[in-house]
Structure 1
Amino acid sequence: MARAGWVLLLLGGLLIGQPAAQAQLTPVPPPQPPPGAPVASPPAQTQPVPPAPQADAGVPAAPGGAVPIAFHFESPGADLLQVVGIIAAELRMNYVVDPQVKGTVVINTLGELRREDLFPLLQMILRINGATAVQTGNFFRVVPLQNVQRMPLEPQLNAAEANLPADDRIVMNIIPLKYVSAVDMTKILTPFLSEGGHLFSHEAGNVLIVTDSSRSMKRLIDLVAQFDTEVFSNQRARLYPVKSSQAARVATELKDVFSAYGLSAGTSAIRFVPIERVNSILVVTANPSVYPEVERWLERLDQPISESGVRTFVYKVENGKAADLANVLSQLLLGKSIISPSSAPPAGGGFLLPMQAGGMAAGQQGIQPFVMASPAVSLAGTTSTTAGIGESEESHIRIVPDPINNQILIQATAQEYEDIRRTLHDLDIVPRQVMIEAKVFEVDLNGALSAGVSAFLQNQGGAAQVPGGERKVQGSFATPSGGGAAAVTATIGTLVGKTRELLLFLNAAETRGQAHVISAPSILASDNIAANINVGTEVPLLTSQALVGGAQQGGTSLFTNTIQNRDTGVLLSITPRVNSSGLVNLQIQQEVSAPLPPAAAGIQSPSIQKRSISTQVVVQDGETIALGGIIQESRTYSRNRVPLLGDIPYVGAIFGNTSLSSARTELIVLLTPTVIRDSSEAQRATNEFRDKLKDLQKLLQQDEEKKKAREQQPPTEPSPAS
């Protein structure tokens, strides 16, 4: 077989001032074959061959196809542009050279070369000298590598590694990423770019735009295939539930443990992500073999929280008040009470149901609610001056109420908090409520009632016995020592025992005009919270006078007066307490007052006439209790005279009259408490009250119809005298 050799020797140097050697293209005859061997074909320069088909896009067509040729440069160095011209002429390639492209090259090739190897050889020579050839239409532009980004390169979309030529031509490839972000992949690929290569990342589309040599592009595509993989494939992520501890705490401990193994999050070898909503830990790693070790450590670390550690817990109060519950806990656990303005029982009630016309108000107006005094619980040696905080020098437990959010902050161990939480759960219950229907009668004591209602009922019934189920007073009112009769002395405030008979009598007396209902309110009060009813007016009272020093008007000294309003009328304050058996303990303060003219001429302020009861009674749920015996006697002296004649001494009485009258009234209060334990009973009470209003409306309509019927009847004419 004929052997052709092509030796191209290009010796170049960058020495300043050294002239480039002239290269000579000299054909080298092939070696002579031995006798009997076939004759080799002539070299390419002496015998033209038909042009071969183009091997790849971007490679100029050259004659000779795969026929071997031989070249030899016998020169110590050749100019870069001269070598480019020789190879371009052989490839019949049109080209333009940028003025910045310069250099010399030394190259030596031995053996036979194919024509398709000339263009890769040209790209290699140009790249060594910092240049490249970019095809633009029918021309190739030889430009420096730093300018290749501005060349019209044809972009390829996610080009496969096998479709790229194995040479140093510049190509542009658009690589879409599936799993890894473009920013992270840019950090991975940048160190592997060749000289003149460029990488741009598009974060919105998660796409890379890479410009580099074809040979380097194959390596970059292989790196992308290795790193752009699904994170959760091949068991690279697992979710472990945390059963006895907290996910965030266990995840932190696992990070510390595996950092000792050299598998920390900084090296991205293994990551622990706590998911607190489901109390689980997500373990992400590229090495599935570490999962058994993770499971072993998770089993060791997922233990209940140590009971010796002091933590802060928050208890959300649902039904009561945080300050009240914190005060109870402080007395129970720490032996002292929390001093807080909100710890006093507030006044007020749920709603007010008026039963007759007139102004009514529920709140703290009027008389002050009755409050039972109770000594504060304290232990010697434990002091605290901070309001709202309960703590002890001998205990680490701290209890802090948060009245704004109605929460209690508790600092204790987990076991201690669990005991405190159970106690709070038993204390934080829906408070019971009591519907109190009150009716205040004022009875005129005249005729048979002159001795009082209580004495009248006793005389009517003889030695009356107290009916079963009725309650006596639990206050400071004396009862007859003789026993038997339930009624007591009528000269002091008392409870009338025969409630049923009293109620029937008062209804009958009201019909005859001997009794008057001066107030009949209904109110819904919470358990152990005072409810106030005020029906009346506010009267200004002069409380003090002061002389204004040095101030005069018309020769008279000026005084300043201090005025304070005082509630008058029917004032009722009730604090109910309900026990588990249904008994209702009522703390009652009742007052009926009215303003009178000034008691002294020099005092320009009215006097207040007051009748009041302050007591505590116990009554069964739904039964009626009666308070009575508040008797008031008033005397009226009137003197009428004829002017002038009535003033004549001794005989003036003839021209006028003088009268002296007295009136006695008794105040009786009927109270009926009804315990409301849940919303259904509250709805039932509301419906009953609505039914009463409907019945009242019907009665008023009937009275109005009767009145109209009487007015429409014609007057009867008197019969003629017989």
Structure 2
Amino acid sequence: MKWSVPPFRTVAPLLLLALSACSSQEAAKPLLVDSELGQPLADTRRSGDTVLDRQREPMPKPAVQHPLTNSARGHAPAAVKARNPLGDQPVQLNFVDADIQAVVRALSRATGQQFLVDPRVKGNLTLVSEGQVPAHQAYDMLLAALRMQGFSVVDVGGVAQVVPEADAKLLGGPMYSAGSSGMQTRTFRLQYENAVNLIPVLRPIVSPNNPINAYPGNNSIVITDYAENLARVAQIINGIDTPSAIDTDVVKVQNGIAVDIAAMVGELLETQGADQTQKINVVGDPRSNSIIIRSGSPERTELARNLIYKLDNAQSNPSNMHVVYLRNAQAGKLAQSLRGLLTGESDTGVSDDARGKLSAMGGNSKNSQGTSTAQNSSGTPTGSGVQSGYGQTSGTTPSTGNTASDQNTAFSAGGVTIQADATTNTLLISAPDPLYRNLREVIDMLDQRRAQVVIESLIVEVGEDDATEFGVQWQAGNLAGKGAFGGVNLGGSGINGTPTSPTSVDVLPKGLNIGLVNGTVDIPGIGKVLDLKVLARALKSKGGTNVLSTPNLLTLDNEAASIFVGQTIPFVTGSYVTGGGGTSNNPFQTVQREEVGLKLNVRPQISEGGTVKLDIYQEVSSVDSRASVEAGTVTNKRAIDTSILLDDGQIMVMGGLLQDGYSQSNDAVPWLSDIPGLGALFRNEKRSVTKTNLMVFLRPYIIRDSEAGRSITLNRYEFMRRAQGGLQPEHSWAMPDVQAPQLPAVEKAIPGAQQQGPRAVIRAVPVSSGARP
């Protein structure tokens, strides 16, 4: 079939016109979303008279009051944008006092975001936009409106969960990331400030329902809050956590002594109060003759630096006479150490090492022998000899009742004269300036605060005694007239009592006593006693001891100390009789008193790494009331003499005793006790089992500053105060009420002391009866 040309030419323009009409589509209209069933309305003429009036007028392009930046647009999560079918299609909001769930449902259809609403989320919401807004901005407006109502939106796995703000932190929300929104968690790692001290500053900035916590382990702060508020908190932390909060500097001293100038500057700039910016620490380093400054602000550091420069001036009238005030060391002991350093004298002669040190200090080794004179406070010579260390003497110095630290020691060696004044604890030094500087370096290194050691000892003794005894005693005779008397008395206790109480039943031995009584019998010289024919005795005794002793002792490093808690008991060591005038005699006894109780002798030595070496002698003694001998009293004694190494705060068992003992005794009548069956009536048997468990534990604490000492003191103080409070007398209607003495409160007894957490101590903890361990 053939097409005719004219008809084709006629139809072609019509086809082109139809295609052009199909290709020109009407521009997309903005969606108007209101609260009617949560449905987006494409035809705005159905939303009410107000909306109809607005739609009849030509709608101008809305003016954006707050233009969005790139970071603000990035607040919408990437997952939300990917699922948003409308993208940046404009949306107009018109919710007036609408139900929250209806608003969320409408916004879910408009933005494509999936929501999960908690049943506890209830209320009305007003959300109106005067003009068109992008879909993602409408989502941000919903988040802000819900936040004002006390609700929060947390994105968990692509689903926005609407929950009360207090529960938002419990959901698995995302960690903080730049350009995100919603409830998030962020960790701030501080470099200079203390995380715990910063919590009170940041707490008012964070929402009341959201947590903020400090982790002292790595000095970090963890905050859960809205992303916008986390960004503001980050700016605040960056402004506070700066290195300017701790300003340090080192100043080299050219003319003076660093330690002397540092003490003067620190005293002048010391301020009272809690303002940390005004705090300043000035410490002199004797090794480099420099001063180290640490303050809370650069201005305070600059003030200290200028003051040091002004004090570090060359003296106009130099002098070789110097007075050194010691802060910690004792002048007499330190003078003896300097004498050994300058002269090099010892028990074996002059040390080559000491001569080398003296030569380096500028002294003359030929005259290093020098002279030494030790005088008492009145100036009278007390002897001569050699002393080394800190008071360990050798030679021929006689004992005058004063130690080296109490004497005014003077000596001259190598052009140096040193006089120790024990009254003011100072050293008077006459030496050239270069040699004096070297001596001051040594003196300042030795004149340091010595550490102290608190030694806590725990002595635990648990003993158990289990004894069983059975015996039969017989008696027969006719003492009413003339006749014979006989019987069996076993077990060390007579059947007829004692002369002091011949008719009392309480003279019978301990245990179960079963006998046959036939009135009384009158024994010449004794009196009337019970006429016991047969006495059977059975006894089972059980005893135990549980002793816990916790002696504590504080002493200086490398100084011996001792503590004794007990009694001084006299022991008779001998007796004799001297004849007096006529027929009288004078008896005498020699008595020796011994200490019975708890004794602890210790000498600690602290190494550079914090290890403590302890030379210990510990003794526990007591009087054994169950054992008695004719010679006198029996005492139990347990002692340990040893040397151990412990770390600071380490507890270690020092020694002990585990003992199990068994004893058996049998008193019997020969031949009769061997009769089968009846032999038990002629025997007295006793068996006992003894167990003793003794352990000694020890723990040292090193105290290097006053804060550590105050912490232990407050702990012991509160412990004793609570013990006194628990022993107050009870109220009695028959007697007047009295108040037992009690320690005052810590604030009154120790001014400036603050309550701190109790430090772990070794002590007995009372357990109430019925309480389960």
Identify whether the pair has TM-score above 0.5, normalized to the shorter chain: no
TM-score, with structure 1 as normaliser:
0.37
Q: Which has the larger radius of gyration?
A: 1
Higher share in strand: 2
TM-score, with structure 2 as normaliser:
0.35
